[in-house]
Amino acid sequence: MTGENSQSLAKITKNILNKNGIKLNKNLGQNYLIDKNKRDQIINFGDITKEDVILEIGTGIGTLTIELAKRARKVIAIEQDTKIYEILAKRLKDEKIDNVELINDDALKVEFPQFNKIISNLPYQISSPITFKFLEYDFDLAILMYQKEFADRMNGEVGTKNYSRLSAMLYFKCDVETLANVSSESFIPKPQIDSTVVKLTPKENKISDEDFETYSKFTKALFQHRNKKIKNALIDSRHEICNLDKKEMKKRLNELELDEYYKKRVTVLSPEDILFLSKEINAKLSE
């Protein structure tokens, strides 16, 4: 919390929570942003116009929602906690804001209405599955706040500890740009780790939807055993990619002349390598 502006947002937030008897549970990812300067910076990163329909996941009491609604054509705001949802619904009514479609549901389970930008301080415990879900939709850009360690993995380079299923999946879908770090002091309750604001910009399709679906299955299978050699990782995660038993899968893998890959460990495979292997091996396993 720095400066008068951030204190005023902190005071507003605390007053609303106290008035409604809300105790935030950081185990549920309920860390509310109370730094007005950071809030405004995140919104400005979105380059919002009156043509934009913004998707926001995990609205909380509306710290982003209300300001987004003032700039965008519409905000689709999803909040799972019913009591928090009701607080935001009342705030929107009191402030006569009528361009927010407020949804009280689990963002991982609902079909998103049409939108073109995503701007969210995401609940941290769903960071991975919600990011993979975003990749199933077309959008212009996403401005998202994650725990710093998670954001570091989004841009993990091949062979490093940050290289992961996440970075491999994003590679063919989005350019990932780190925009700003946000101190843990900017939230209540204060989390144990700092946060990072990331911009995702979808790439023109480098691979077909069919190839990406195959790539996605193989990436998941491989990174379940990130420190194993490729062949062993695939056999151990065969349930992710086929219905063959261990013996039959080994036989088919051996029929492919891919020994130079099989001996490598998962973390040294580039996304292009994984794509090549997934297409070659999938064709063989599907025979």
Q: Is the pLDDT of residue 128 over 80?
A: yes
Radius of gyration (Cα) for the chain, nearest Å?
22
Q: Is the pLDDT of residue 1 over 90?
A: no
Q: Is the pLDDT of residue 104 over 90?
A: yes
Produce one character per residue of 22-60: b if its CB has 16 or more CB atoms within 10 Å, e if not. bebebeebbbbbbbbebbeebbebbebeeebbbbbbbbb
Q: Is the pLDDT of residue 4 over 50?
A: no
pLDDT band of residue 25 (cuts 50, 70, 90) is confident
Produce one character per residue of 241-261: b if its CB has 16 or more CB atoms within 10 Å, e if not. bbebeeeebeeebeeeebeeb
Q: Is the pLDDT of residue 266 over 80?
A: yes
pLDDT band of residue 2 (cuts 50, 70, 90) is very low
Alpha carbon of 269 to those of 218, 229, 254, 259, 263: distances in Å?
12, 10, 19, 14, 11
Q: Is the pLDDT of residue 89 over 90?
A: yes
Q: What are the chain's domains?
A: 3-202 (3.40.50.150), 209-285 (1.10.8.100)
Size of the chain, expressed as the number of residues it contains:
287
pLDDT at residue 27, as a whole number:
67
pLDDT band of residue 29 (cuts 50, 70, 90) is low
Residues 189-207 have pLDDT tens digits of 888 899 999 999 999 877 8
Average pLDDT, the chain: 93
pLDDT at residue 3, as a whole number:
43
pLDDT at residue 23, as a whole number:
83
Q: Is the pLDDT of residue 155 over 70?
A: yes
Beta bridge partners of 198: 144, 178
pTM equals: 0.91
CB of 201 closer than 8 Å to CB of 141 = yes
pLDDT at residue 5, as a whole number:
46
pLDDT band of residue 272 (cuts 50, 70, 90) is very high
pLDDT at residue 55, as a whole number:
98
pLDDT at residue 8, as a whole number:
85
Helix axis angle, 3-19 to 36-45, nearest 10°: 100
Q: Is the pLDDT of residue 282 over 60?
A: yes
